[in-house]
Chains A and B, each alone.
Chain A
Amino acid sequence: MTLLTLLILVGLAVAAVRAHDLLAATAILGAYSLMMALLWCQMNALDVAFTEAAVGAGISTVLLLAALTRVGTQESLKYGHRLLRHPLRTMRSLVTELHEGDGRRSAIGAVLVCALVGAAMLYGTRDMPRVGDAGSPANTHPAVAEHYLNRSADEVGPANVVTSVLGDYRGYDTMGETVVIFTAALCVLLLLRHMGGRTRDE
């Protein structure tokens, strides 16, 4: 089940990145977030599922839509990278295209970086425990996860351990998070303060 959801997610991610209509891309990203919330449920991360559905699928989509009403919904095809649309032609003319300077972008640099990063991360998985390994270091550390699970009912109270950790054991993290939200809200306000009227150029 988890695997099926993961594959759907990959498909949705590709579709969101490839769609030329930004409105469609936003809608697909919303579906992606909702599917992600479903996956969190399957992975027993219920609180993360709530947050993803409300914040990821909800607020993010609304923010993107609000931005699109101001900047338009069409991605310029002229400046899109060519690799996905014309794989063969791009492969053949990689070198010449890089030096053409006609404003078109070649995706070869991005592909190289992605391949390098992907190879490094694949190599890194060699040292990772299997998913679902209850004996992995992260799950058995006596002062963190085990302590929270065994003691939070006595030390904090709520039945939901995530609530205890969020509000008590790691309360300072949560405070830092609210500071981030406040700062972001301040940034958005300052950036868009005078957007009602005309710009100076007009």
Chain B
Amino acid sequence: MSDVLRHLGTHYHYVIYIALMLIGLFAVLAKGNLIKKVIGLNVLQTAVFLFYISIGRKADGTAPVLWDQKPETIPYENPVPHVLMLTAIVVGVSITAVALALIIRIKRAYGTMEESEILVLDESDQQGSA
């Protein structure tokens, strides 16, 4: 038990990232409103970014901008996660844009953006055609 507590004490960053990710995941799963799902998706992805960036952290590190020609002596942060997350942020916005465009179409076609109402409309459509 004390091992678990000590582990949580040294790894509390990860616990907070997981909490953030679960908040996003919960919104995606449980919220009926489609815009809310997109907001949850945004929260979820920032939690993943946090996870990646913290993998590249160094204690007392500094930004990976070479102001001295001796990198061995200065603990520059790992630049690789930074680059990957730069790309991921932009891709995330692309996903948001496409999702919002789809929501606008759904709202126009169904007159609602609530998941439950859309399902009810779909079911009554099928019954009507059968």
CB 8 Å contact bits of B35-66 with A (1 = contact, 0 = none): 11011101100100110011111110111111
Please determine whether A130 and B75 come into contact, CB atoms closer than 8 angstroms. no
Q: Roughly how many angstroms separate A99 CA and B100 CA in the complex, as a whole number?
A: 32
Q: Is the interface of B mostly helix, strand, loop or mixed?
A: helix
Which chain A positions have C-beta within 8 A of B100? 63-64, 66-67
The CB with the most chain A CB atoms within 10 A, among B22, B30, B89, B103, is that of B30
Nearest-CB distance from B94 to chain A (Å)?
3
B130 at the interface (CB under 8 A from A): no
Q: Roughly how many angstroms separate A9 CA and B49 CA in the complex, as a whole number?
A: 13
Please provide the chain B residues from 99 to 130 with a CB less than 8 Å away from any CB of chain A in the complex: 100-105, 107-109, 112-117, 120
Summed over the interface, the residue pairs from A and B with CB atoms below 8 Å come to a total of 285
Q: Roughly how many angstroms separate A153 CA and B95 CA in the complex, as a whole number?
A: 35
Please provide the chain A residues from 7 to 56 with a CB less than 8 Å away from any CB of chain B in the complex: 7, 9-10, 13-14, 16-17, 22, 25-26, 29, 32-33, 36, 39-40, 43-48, 51-52, 55-56
Which chain A positions have C-beta within 8 A of B61? 44, 132, 134
Q: Are A132 and B67 CB-contacts (below 8 A) given A17-B40, A79-B114, A161-B76?
A: no
Which chain A positions have C-beta within 8 A of B49? 36, 48
Chain A interface: which size bin? 35 or more
Chain A positions near chain B (C-beta within 8 angstroms): 2-3, 6-7, 9-10, 13-14, 16-17, 22, 25-26, 29, 32-33, 36, 39-40, 43-48, 51-52, 55-56, 59-60, 63-64, 66-68, 70-72, 75-76, 79-81, 83, 103-105, 107, 109-111, 113-114, 117-118, 121-122, 125-126, 128-134, 136, 138-139, 144-145, 148-150, 152-153, 159-162, 164-166, 170, 173-174, 176-177, 180-181, 183-185, 187-188, 191-192, 195, 199
Which chain A positions have C-beta within 8 A of B26? 17, 107, 110-111, 114
**Pairs of residues from A and B, 10 with the lowest C-beta to C-beta distance, nearest first:** A184-B94, A110-B29, A110-B30, A132-B59, A67-B100, A134-B58, A161-B64, A191-B101, A161-B79, A79-B32
